[in-house]
Amino acid sequence: ETDFVDVLVIGAGASGLMCAIEAAKRGRSVRVLDHANRPGKKILMSGGGRCNFTNYTVEPENYISHNPHFCKSALKRFNQWDFLALVQRYKIPFHERLHGQLFCDDSAKDILNMLLSEGRQYGAELKISCAIQQVSRAADGGFRLQTSHGGMRCQSLVVATGGLSIPKMGATPFGYQLAEQFGIQVWPTRAGLVPLTLQPVDKEVFSALTGIAVPCEVSLQNYSFRENLLFTHRGLSGPAILQISSYWQPGEPLQINCLPDMQLFKLLKQQRGQGNKLKLKTWLAEHLPKRLLQALLPEPLLECSLVDCSDKQLQQVANHIQAWHIKPNGSEGYRTAEVTLGGVDCDALSSKTMECLQVPGLYFIGEVVDVTGWLGGYNFQWAWSSGWCAGQYV
């Protein structure tokens, strides 16, 4: 026996819940299915438990995709101010952090409860602990699902199963597999916003720095981020590294400027000109942690007095600190990644509705789509925007 609803949404995460709310508002009968034992687990763990739910400035440049234009329409139609209005209507206390990032004051639970409450209010049904075994096209053009809760039929099927990061929280490749089942291209997936590991030789040197954070500028050829870099016992982390990790390809070196606000070479020459007798290590220690200096610069150089240094030596110091090149070994992978790069090909979808061009009635929203945001609330904003758009048409 199969029971029918207008809209089935697979995945009760950020994008799925948003889509369900909007579709239910339009009077569609909506059911959200999730195999996890509770909805919105990633919302709850996001932003260190405070959910960085959006950002005051959201631009297409904050997203990575094989089709950089695809996200524009959705981000415009339901933008950060629209989501903020919802948050304010629920009187959820929030605050701004660096770079316009908006976080809950109290708990990410506030955001999840808001979405669940909106869904309930408009009559969207939620079925958790529901495994989806099979999906097929129904004779009437809709879809037929076999699930652990029995057979179901729908007119519109929305795939909102997210990416592959944090498998412990219930991430699965379901969405990618379903896309492939329906002949939709899926770009290879890769962990993004993820700490990077070091080659064994570097690891030996830099693991002594575990716990140290330095404001840096971390760059690849075309991208650079100015944020904290954090040394961990596994390698490099902190916002600067998470951001650049989404652009990094194995084998590429990172260029790191540990004193991005200083004209170091010039300043060192000035000090020398003023007859500064301090050892380089003593003078530099006013600007950078001693242990970092020891890791970046050869010991004999650090022991030199400023007055005795040659131009070449001073240039060497500046290079080691401001153009430090390091080749990561790899990333920590999906276990600790915040997002998944790649995914369902944007060119297979309508940027207005998120519907598959070749499979009417089938929609993909959120992280499963090949749109990946920077750190800073951009991934949730994509989930809200794409979910909202699909919700207008399903």
The residue ranges that bind ligand FAD (CB under 6 A) are 10-16, 33-36, 41-42, 45-47, 51-52, 132, 160-162, 165-166, 170, 172, 174, 338-339, 366-368, 377-380, 383
State the nearest-atom distance from the C-beta of 344 to ligand FAD, in Å.
11
Residue in the structure block whose two tokens are 């998470």: 242
Name the residue nearer to ligand FAD (CB basis): 172 or 313. Answer: 172
Minimum CB distance to ligand FAD, residue 39 (Å): 6
Q: Nearer to ligand FAD by C-beta: 22 or 259? A: 22
Between 11 and 119, whose beta carbon lies closer to ligand FAD?
11
Tell me if residue 307 falls in helix, strand or coil: helix
Minimum CB–partner distance for residue 155 and ligand FAD (Å): 19
Query: How far is the C-alpha of 354 from the C-alpha of 255, rounded, in Å?
Result: 38
State the sign of the Cα–Cα–Cα–Cα dihedral 17, 18, 21, 24: negative
Q: Helices in 58-199 by DSSP H: which ranges?
A: 71-77, 80-89, 109-121, 174-181
Looking at the Cβ atoms of 182 and 283, the one nearer to ligand FAD is 182
Residue 248: CB minimum distance to ligand FAD, A: 18
DSSP state, 262? -
Which of residues 52 and 353 has its CB atom nearest to ligand FAD in the complex?
A: 52
The amino acid occupying position 245 is S
Return the number of the residue (44 or 138) whose C-beta is nearest ligand FAD. 44
Q: How far is the CB of 111 from ligand FAD (least distance, A)?
A: 10
3-state secondary structure of 8: strand
> Least distance in Å: CB of 112 to ligand FAD?
10
CB of 314 within 8 A of CB of 307?
Answer: no
Would you say 42 or 190 has its CB closer to ligand FAD? Answer: 42
CB neighbour list of residue 328: distance below 8 Å, 6 or more residues apart: 196, 197, 198, 199, 235, 236, 248, 254
Residue nearest to ligand FAD (CB): 13
DSSP annotation string for 186-217: EEEEEEES--EEE-HHHHHHHGGGTT-EEEEE
**CA dist list (Å): 378 to 61, 155, 205, 339, 391:** 11, 31, 35, 11, 20
What is the SS3 assignment for 145? strand
CA 117, 118, 119, 120 dihedral sign is: positive
Tell me the pairing of strands 2-10 and 30-33: parallel
Closest approach of ligand FAD to the CB of residue 149, in Å: 11
Measured from the CB of residue 170, what is the shortest distance to ligand FAD in angstroms? 4
Closest to ligand FAD by CB, 256 vs 339, is 339
